[in-house]
């Protein structure tokens, strides 16, 4: 139950997909779901539909629309392939905080314009890998709209030498936050987890962090070697609880 749309931004036309439960057309509570660095692909279409089936309208944008529409990783290839990774890193490097802010604004506008979404109501947002930081940033920049923000096997959330890290935005977040961390994740070591927890606590944010013991970075992506079925199932349970308690379904 997906519909493709295009929404204008200052940097061009953003292609995106809206997912709803079978037999439901809306209006439904809104969830924005950001893909990992691999971009749009079957794994994330399945993920967005699974979240939607709990009673939400899920908006999944192409985070790389500035460079290309649709999928970036060719069919039969993987974002781990040596001839694919450089392109992904090149595109990802253009997703600066300024670019993200423009996209967040466009996504909120889309939620308020499309019939599947409950207009003017609270929004949930979730990101994976590098976009766990997007979820926190969107919550900080739209505190009156984003009621729930989640990140799974998120990366670089609180690097000490990164002035653009979302850890510096903790005092602007009003959403409830859930973070499901991969075990022994080089992209988010214990020092960063502790630094972010401290910042969220100091800011009075209602948050939960959980370490998925034994689960590696990328544990929710069924097209990745790190996929962990049990950890993936737990991630859906945690996400369902978060959205149920904040978005009212």
Q: What confidence score (pLDDT) does residue 77 get?
A: 81
Q: What confidence score (pLDDT) does residue 248 get?
A: 79
Per residue in 43-95, pLDDT (tens digit) is: 999 999 999 999 999 999 999 999 999 999 988 888 788 889 999 999 999 99
Instruction: Report d(CA 165, CA 97) in Å as an integer.
Output: 9
Per residue in 103-121, pLDDT (tens digit) is: 999 999 999 999 999 988 9
Are the C-beta atoms of 154 and 177 separated by less than 8 Å? Answer: no
Domain with residues 2-247, CATH architecture: 3-Layer(aba) Sandwich (3.40)
Instruction: Report d(CA 160, CA 46) in Å as an integer.
Output: 35
Per residue in 200-226, pLDDT (tens digit) is: 999 999 999 999 999 999 999 999 999
Q: What confidence score (pLDDT) does residue 83 get?
A: 87
Instruction: Report d(CA 60, CA 124) in Å as an integer.
Output: 12
Per residue in 2-57, pLDDT (tens digit) is: 899 999 999 999 999 999 999 887 799 999 999 999 999 999 999 999 999 999 99
For residues 122-144, average pLDDT: 98
Q: Report which of 89, 99, 87 is spatially closest to residue 12, judged by C-alpha positions.
A: 99
Q: Report which of 7, 81, 80, 70 is spatially closest to residue 39, judged by C-alpha positions.
A: 70
What average pLDDT does the structure give for the chain? 95
Q: What confidence score (pLDDT) does residue 249 get?
A: 65
Q: Give the residue extent of every domain in the chain.
A: 2-247
């Amino acid at each position: 139950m997906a519909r493709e749309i295009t929404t204008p931004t200052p940097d061009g036309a953003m292609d995106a997909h809206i997912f709803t439960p079978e037999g439901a057309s809306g209006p439904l509570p809104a969830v924005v779901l950001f893909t990992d660095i691999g971009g749009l692909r079957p794994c994330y279409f399945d993920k967005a539909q699974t979240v939607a089936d709990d009673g939400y309208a899920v908006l999944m944008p192409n985070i790389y629309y500035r460079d290309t529409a649709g999928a970036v990783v060719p069919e039969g290839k993987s974002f781990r392939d040596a001839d694919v990774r450089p392109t992904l890193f090149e595109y990802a490097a253009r997703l600066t905080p300024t670019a993200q802010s423009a996209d967040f604004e466009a996504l909120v506008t889309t939620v308020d314009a499309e019939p599947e979404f409950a207009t003017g109501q609270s929004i949930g947002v979730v990101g994976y890998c590098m976009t766990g930081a997007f979820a926190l940033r969107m919550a900080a920049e739209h505190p009156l709209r984003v009621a729930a923000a989640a990140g799974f096997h998120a990366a670089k959330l609180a690097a000490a030498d990164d002035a653009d890290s979302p850890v510096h935005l903790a005092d602007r977040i009003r959403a409830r936050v859930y973070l499901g961390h991969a075990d022994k994740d080089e992209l988010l070591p214990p020092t960063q987890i502790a630094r972010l927890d401290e910042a969220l606590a100091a800011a009075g944010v209602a948050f939960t962090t959980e370490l998925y013991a034994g689960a590696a970075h990328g544990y929710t992506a069924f097209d990745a070697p790190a996929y962990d079925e049990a950890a993936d199932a737990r991630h859906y349970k945690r996400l369902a609880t978060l959205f149920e308690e904040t978005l009212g379904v």
